[in-house]
């Protein structure tokens, strides 16, 4: 398996660079671009100031050069223009790009391959730091939603197959279709209206009570804030997993080893759950990979509606505020999570069914 994992990681390198090229081209083609966003914040309204900012950002260079600078950094492109022993750009004029009244000399960029995605236009800090600050909230919501959704969904699907064509089977199928058809934003708003506004038994949003130090207590002290957003996300997961688990389980029932296990006198519980459920979980492993991406990238709609301070809500604010470094760090970060997620799906095949060999 180790050889397979190494081979897949090597094969993912061209995919990763293809994603970086496409992402950068789309960002460069965006109307306005980072110059317009920075010029507005720095008060650089005159054409001369805007041109100086273009030179400092390097956006007046050819697109391949811009991409290489973004990917690899620009420290390798600098030279000692004035003989003082310090590598610099001879053509760059310092400009106040963060609005603090002090013009900054151009700083060196190490490139995204070395973890430097630039400074956020809004937060005035490294974009990667902003992402890592929001990541715990996203993991908290994503892991709880996926755990509950996957467990309940698979259990409901197996029980629906066991009770095929009975009332439980029909009821769960109808409920799954309803939850799958309901828009997430509508369900979230209705739950907030009913439980938060009408009954006032659950908070209307956020991760915890607002505090001066902007920190949250342990999870067990604020579990009420997690109930509604977790339920909203878990309903879609339950609907999808239950239908696929049911279909997979019904397909397993017709296999010879199931009839053999029954003929040996094993109990129905042992036949269904020990022999049938494990083999029925193999197709479910296909969904685990994309689910990992969902956990790490954040639920954009749910986090926005519930004011959840996670990655999803941050990227929405970054898109509307044209905070390009934040957008790009989330795009690259999500692409890496997707590549690793699909690799995890292949590994789960072997864990669930030892008969499968990857090498």
Instruction: Provide DSSP, 307-328.
Output: T--SHHHHHHHHHHTT-HHHHH
Give the number of other CB atoms < 10 A from CB of residue 6: 10
Same domain? For 148 and 73 the reply is: no
Structural domain contains residue 143? yes
Q: What is the pLDDT of residue 79?
A: 45
Same domain? For 137 and 108 the reply is: no
**Final residue of a structural domain among 114, 146, 167:** 114
Structural domain contains residue 359? no
| CA end-to-end span of the chain | 6
% of the chain at pLDDT higher than 70: 79
Same domain? For 156 and 82 the reply is: no
Whether 122 contacts 98, CB under 8 Å: no
Give me the phi and psi of 298, to 5 degrees please.
95, 150
Q: How many domains does the chain have?
A: 2
Same domain? For 107 and 151 the reply is: no
Structural domain contains residue 7? no
| CATH code for the domain of 227 | 1.10.3720.10
Task: Mention every residue, 6+ apart, whose C-beta is less than 8 A from residue 197.
Answer: 204
Q: What is the pLDDT of residue 108?
A: 59
Same domain? For 243 and 145 the reply is: yes
Q: How far apart are CA 356 and CA 349, in angstroms?
A: 7
Same domain? For 110 and 199 the reply is: no
Q: What is the pLDDT of residue 80?
A: 45
Same domain? For 219 and 326 the reply is: yes
Q: How far apart are CA 276 and CA 278, in angstroms?
A: 6
Same domain? For 105 and 37 the reply is: yes
Same domain? For 223 and 303 the reply is: yes
Same domain? For 132 and 277 the reply is: yes
Structural domain contains residue 9? no
Q: Is the dihedral of CA 284, 304, 18, 109 positive or negative?
A: negative
Q: What is the pLDDT of residue 3?
A: 82
Q: 113-139: string of b/e by CB count within 10 Å (b at 16+)?
A: eeebbbbbbbbeebbbebbeebbebbe
Give me the phi and psi of 88, to 5 degrees please.
-150, 175
Structural domain contains residue 119? no
Same domain? For 144 and 264 the reply is: yes
Structural domain contains residue 306? yes
Q: How far apart are CA 192 and CA 184, in angstroms?
A: 12
Smallest CA-to-CA distance from 236 within 191, 305, 286, 178 is with: 178
Q: How far apart are CA 260 and CA 257, in angstroms?
A: 5
What share of residues in the chain are helix, strand, coil (percent, to 5)? 70, 0, 30
DSSP type of residue 105: P
**Final residue of a structural domain among 91, 114, 137:** 114
Q: Is the dihedral of CA 187, 188, 193, 195 positive or negative?
A: positive
Domain that holds residue 304: 127-352
Same domain? For 73 and 158 the reply is: no
**Final residue of a structural domain among 114, 149, 166:** 114
Structure tokens at 325: 């470094």
Structural domain contains residue 357? no
Structural domain contains residue 11? no
Flag residues of the chain having pLDDT under 50: 42, 44, 79-81, 83, 87, 89-98, 103-106
């Amino acid at each position: 398996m180790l050889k397979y994992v190494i081979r897949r990681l090597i094969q993912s390198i061209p995919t990763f660079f293809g994603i970086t090229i496409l992402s950068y081209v789309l960002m460069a083609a965006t109307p306005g671009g980072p110059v317009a966003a920075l010029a507005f914040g720095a008060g650089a309204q005159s054409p001369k100031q805007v041109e100086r900012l273009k030179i400092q950002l390097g956006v007046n260079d050819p697109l391949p050069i811009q991409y290489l600078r973004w990917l690899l950094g620009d420290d390798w492109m600098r030279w000692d223009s004035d003989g003082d022993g310090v590598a610099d750009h001879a053509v760059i004029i310092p400009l106040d790009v963060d609005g603090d009244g002090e013009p900054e000399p151009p700083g060196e960029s190490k490139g995204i391959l070395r973890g430097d995605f630039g400074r956020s236009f809004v937060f005035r800090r490294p974009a990667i730091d902003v992402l890592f600050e929001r990541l715990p909230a996203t993991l908290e919501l994503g892991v709880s939603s996926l755990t509950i959704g996957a467990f309940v969904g698979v259990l409901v699907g197996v029980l629906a197959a066991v009770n095929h064509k009975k009332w439980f089977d029909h009821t769960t199928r109808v409920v799954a279709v309803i939850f799958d058809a309901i828009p997430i934003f509508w369900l979230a708003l209705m739950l907030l209206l009913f439980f938060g506004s009408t009954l006032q038994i659950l908070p209307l949003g956020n991760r915890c009570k607002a505090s001066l130090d902007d920190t949250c207590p342990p999870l067990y002290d604020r579990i009420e804030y997690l109930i509604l957003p977790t339920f909203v996300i878990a309903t879609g997961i339950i609907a999808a997993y239950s239908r696929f688990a049911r279909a997979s389980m019904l397909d397993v029932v017709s296999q010879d080893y199931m009839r053999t296990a029954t003929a040996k006198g094993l109990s129905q519980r042992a036949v269904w759950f020990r022999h049938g459920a494990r083999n029925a979980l193999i197709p479910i492993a296909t969904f685990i990979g994309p689910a990992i991406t969902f956990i790490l990238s954040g639920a954009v709609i749910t986090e926005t509606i519930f004011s959840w301070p996670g990655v999803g809500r941050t990227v929405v604010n970054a898109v509307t505020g044209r905070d390009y470094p934040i957008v790009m760090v989330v795009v690259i970060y999500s692409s890496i999570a997707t590549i690793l997620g699909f690799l995890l799906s292949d590994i789960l095949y072997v864990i669930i069914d030892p008969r499968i060999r990857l090498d």
